[in-house]
Amino acid sequence: MEEKIIKTEYSEVMQKSYIDYAMSVIVARALPDVRDGLKPVQRRTLYDMHELGIRYDRPYRKSARIVGDTMGKYHPHGDSSIYEALVVMAQDFKKGLPLVDGHGNFGNIEGDGAAAMRYTEARLARVTQEAFLADLDKDVVDFVPNFDETEKEPDVLPVKFPNLLVNGSEGIAVGMATSIPPHNLGEVIDAVKAYMKNESITTRELMRYVQGPDFPTGGIVTNKDELRAIYETGTGKIRIRGRVDVEKGKAGKVNVVISQIPYPMVGANIGKFLSDVAALAETKKTMDISDISNQSSKEGIRIVIELKKDADVEYFINMLYKKTRLEDTFGVNMLAIADGRPETMGLKEIIRANVEFQFQTATRKYENLLEKERNRREIQEGLIKACNVIDLIIEILRGSRDRAMAKACLVEGKTDGIQFKSRESAIMAQQLAFTENQANAILEMRLYKLIGLELEALIREHDETMANIYRYEDILERRDSMAQVIMNELDDIKRKFAGKRRTLIDNCAEAVFEEKKAEEMEVICMMDRFGYVKTIDVPTYERNREAAEAENRFVFRCKNTGKICLFTDKGQLYTVKVSDLPFGRFRDKGIPVDNVSNFDSAKEALLLATGQSELNLYRVIFVTRMAMMKVVDGGEFDVSKKTVAATKLQEGDKVVSVTVLDAQKNVILQSKDGCFLRFGVEEIPEKKKTALGVRGMHLGPGDEVEAVYYTTGASEETIPYKSRELVLNQIKAGKRDGKGVKVRG
């Protein structure tokens, strides 16, 4: 075969390939169809369960069997995505109307995952069987080939209500995402009926029926007046709070009980909420908490926060709304696949699309039923007519050589080769004109059908068939009749499956919370060599001074209302509020400083930690590896940002020492090659923090500053150097930018 080489731009190939990939993810994976509200993996899983006969009134089957069959026939994208979809459809805390009846551990509202698929079992929920799959055998939707064209699967399920609104949907595609909140089934059905009665109805009028989202976890939607704009545009933010009750506790205490949580808190965020409440107490943001307990069970959520006597309950509840996820937002983006492409739709558009779909499926359903009834009428009329001339038909059958000869006589009146008892019978036989279907039915008719009662039953069946034909023709010819049929089905679904609203829709004033200013006091901040930091009160420090200074790398005084400053070898300054640090006992461990600042101990080395109030009173000396030095006024580091550059560095340079200048008289620079230079600190000029500084020592090729020491007076100060003690005061004094003296070990 001759090779064919196509030359094209690489960028064009990449662009086309990425667009194809993006559209595949958007249409075939991540976004639901507006007609049935299902993503492909959900639709395929439900259809496979239907094909396997795992109905609501039959025994459960292993989830692994369902997942394996779905993956092998319809969804070849891995078992985890199929099982995850199956699990979510069975979780009543995520779906307003679960579509799968799960048996076993299917996870819980607190974030525990489902058991492995080999342990759990499932079957279709009754609503799924009756409202999603009931009419599949009536040719109401198109079937398309599966991925390897060995099976057929429905392009969409014939869902009888707007499932996209009832169960909502969440999904992330390429460049777009959908986030649709769940709604109350009864309210949605009422809105659909209102639209069918008046297609010019406005969104505002529809909201008389659909009050707002109805989350399975309950809660309170607090921005009722904003819902209209959200439902008109399909986008917006819904503010939702947990339901909080106040109960009397023991010994005059008060219990704040959370019985419903915001929908976004479902899962691991409940644990995060509990830790956030505990952190409020640990960081002294509130002193009112006496105890926290999670008493949730299968009966529902119950989180109890016990408050101390005389606690300001309203203030505490407002603090929970502001400082935890007890009040959260649900971002709405009602994006779905409509006519094969993604489209953001409002409430009315979704209902309109679903109603059009209902009329389409109803039309195909009743056309199919009408065709069957007409075929049945044809057979019934043939059998009734045959009963009237049954003697002649028996004579034809007895006189025919084979079935074909008898059938030709019944349909076309051909009597050639048939032996009749009389000439009159032959003449009557020539006048017969049954249809093909009638002739087949007559030839297959059993003798017991000749009984009088059977004939009467046949006539009654014919009357029923004619009534059905007239009814189906009326439904197909008159839109009002079809609409009434659809509404009757909706009423039946509402009666069987609708429940009470769980989420309260209201306009609530924004929670007002102002942090009570802590009484200013001096505390001691301590940081050990592992970077764990905490604060203690001054009396505790005084009692444990020696142990504190021996066990910690940095120990300094600061105000509890102030900040601490962290200087690193990369010339960065990180600030941390003292109020963010744990305040407690001397032997408390503290928390990693990385947790409360942007400082990353894995990437930078910490050189100095000190209080902001101390820096404002003094100056700071910087020394770099390339011997650049400067003095900076400490007030320059009183900044509002959490991270700023503390000094300017040349390329490849690092800070070796950052020191608060107090009583130091001399500075000694030690180089890697063993040169020491001593000179007075007054020789170091004061610069801005953005300046590079001046050279402090003339270094040889490949040499660099290794350490920096300071002396405060004439008293001898020594350091260990190689194999001996080096007296810093005895080092020959020099001038800044000198080479220093070589010290041998």
Contact (Cβ atoms closer than 8 angstroms) between residue 215 and residue 502: yes
Q: For residue 635, which of 615, 621, 620 has the smallest C-alpha distance?
A: 615
**Total Cβ atoms within 10 A of residue 723:** 6
**Total Cβ atoms within 10 A of residue 535:** 20
Q: For residue 168, which of 54, 63, 42, 47 has the smallest C-alpha distance?
A: 42
* Strand order across the beta sheet in which 563-568 lies: 606-611, 563-568, 572-577, 643-645
Reduced to 3 states (helix: H, G, I; strand: E, B; else coil), residue 474 is helix
Give, to the nearest 10 degrees, the angle between helix 185-197 and helix 347-388: 80
Reduced to 3 states (helix: H, G, I; strand: E, B; else coil), residue 719 is strand
Burial 594-608 (b: 16+ CB within 10 A, else e): eebbebeeeebebbb
Which residue bears the tokens 């509404």? 487
Q: For residue 47, which of 150, 128, 127, 164 has the smallest C-alpha distance?
A: 128
119 is known as an active-site residue: yes
Cα separation, 435 vs 94, in Å, equals 57
**Total Cβ atoms within 10 A of residue 173:** 18
Q: For residue 562, which of 502, 497, 638, 628 has the smallest C-alpha distance?
A: 638
DSSP 524-588: EEEE-TT-EEEEEEHHHHHHTHHHHHHH-SEEEEEETTSEEEEEETTSEEEEEEGGGS-B--TT-
Give, to the nearest 10 degrees, the angle between helix 390-399 and helix 423-430: 100
DSSP 403-432: HHHHHHHHHH---TT---SSHHHHHHHHT-
DSSP class of 462 = H
DSSP 260-309: E--GGGSSTHHHHHHHHHHHHHHTTS-S-EEEEEE--BTTB--EEEEEPT
The bridge status of strand 220-221 relative to strand 504-505 is parallel
Q: Which residue is catalytic, options 10, 21, 83, 119?
A: 119
Which residues carry out catalysis?
A: 119
